[in-house]
Structures are given as C-alpha cells and as structure tokens.
Amino acid sequence: MADLLGSILGSMQKPPTASEEERKKAKAHQEKLKKLQKVEREQKEKFRVEVEKTISDFARDSSKTRHRLKAMNKLQRTIVHEIAEIAGITSQAFGVEDNDRYVMLFKKEDPPTEDEINAYKHGEEWNKETQEKVKQQKIVEVEESKHTKSNDVSEPMSNYKDKYNHLIGTSAAKDAARRTEANKTFGMVPSTNKRDQRSIEETLNQIRAKKRQKVSDEEPSS
C-alpha cells in the first residue's frame, strides 16, 4: 500500500515554487508592456503623419493664414510644435491644460496681433465681429484718455484781473500800461535836469560863500 501511494505521488508533477510564479508574472508583464509600447509607437507615428499632412496643406493654402487644431495632450502638442517649426509655421497653444488646450497655427507673413492673442487667451473667437469690438473699445479708451488729460489742466475759476479789480482798477491799469514817458507832475524828473551844469570853480566858490555866511551868522550870537 505504501509503495502504491509512493508511486502515485512520484508520478505527479511537483507544485510550482514561488520563484517560478514570480518569473511567469514578470514575463507576462514584460510582454504586455511591449504590446502597449508598440501600440503607442504606432499611434504616435500615425498622429505624426496626420499632423504633417495638416500642416503641409495649411502651408500650401494661400487663402488661409490661421488654422486651429483640435484639443490634444502635451505629448501631441510637442509633436505639433516640432513639425510646425520645421515647416516654417508659427504655433502657439491656448486653452486650459487637460481640458481644451489646443494649438493654433499662424503663417509667419501674417503674425497674430496682441489683441488677437488676448482674444484666444480669453477663449474668444477672433473674427470680424471681435475685431470690430476691439477697435471700438480702443476708440473709447482713447477718448476717455483725452478727456482725463483735459480735466487735469483745468481753467481757473475766475480771472485774477477781476479778483483784484478793486485794487488796480480796470481803466487805470490800461492807461498806466500805455504810458511810456515820465510824468513830471508826480515828481518824476528827467535825467537831463539832474545833471550838474556848474563848473568846478563855480562850485568851490559857492561852497566857500556858504561857509563864510555860516560863520558870519554865528558871530552875533556869540
């Protein structure tokens, strides 16, 4: 009986060891990873071919200066930027990451303006209606700026001549401004009258006479 049981157990395969199970799992994981990498490479190559065709068609189309691509992930956008640079096309991404971020293509001979870029950043479409809206807004801002500057340099509330009219008068100020000659009746003496016409000898004689007169006036009192 024991020999029969031993022969049966001996004919059966031994259960796999833990190391063998781990090797099988690792092998299966590697095979799965290779399949995923192969699929990813195929998808990446397919996407690259599609982007090359899209950018090539856009570059040859003379009627278009802008082209918006669909939303894509960061890796796809990197491929688009790379191919666009090779083709001589300007590319810029807009939108929210992991939501609706996309790439806009521009031809270098017609680059986007700052207003256009701001419109894309705010999620607006850049069309004739948007351009007219931006244009009108700029006109309003310019008019407001002019109005503000004109208010900064305001006119005085009253004329200083009116304020001091009770002091300087109106007609008197005008008449005084018109006069260019000195008025002798108010003590104004011409310079010719101030000049001494006497000679030196006459002046000395007059000084001596005044001194003698002064001495003769003092003698009777003493």
Strand order in the sheet with 66-68: 66-68, 102-107, 89-94
Structure tokens at 74: 């960061």
* Angstrom distance (rounded) from CA 121 to CA 117: 6
Among the listed residues 65, 120, 125, 53, the one whose alpha carbon sits nearest the alpha carbon of residue 89: 65
Q: What pLDDT digit, counting tens, does each position of 1-56 carry?
A: 556 666 766 666 566 565 788 888 888 888 999 999 999 999 999 999 999 999 99
Task: Report the first-to-last Cα separation within the chain, whole angstroms.
Answer: 188
Q: What pLDDT digit, counting tens, does each position of 128-163 carry?
A: 677 777 778 778 888 788 777 666 555 555 555 565
| Amino acid identity at 52 | E
Report pLDDT for 158.
56
- Stated pTM of the model: 0.51
User: Does 170 or 38 have the greater pLDDT score?
Assistant: 38
Report pLDDT for 130.
73
* Angstrom distance (rounded) from CA 113 to CA 31: 51
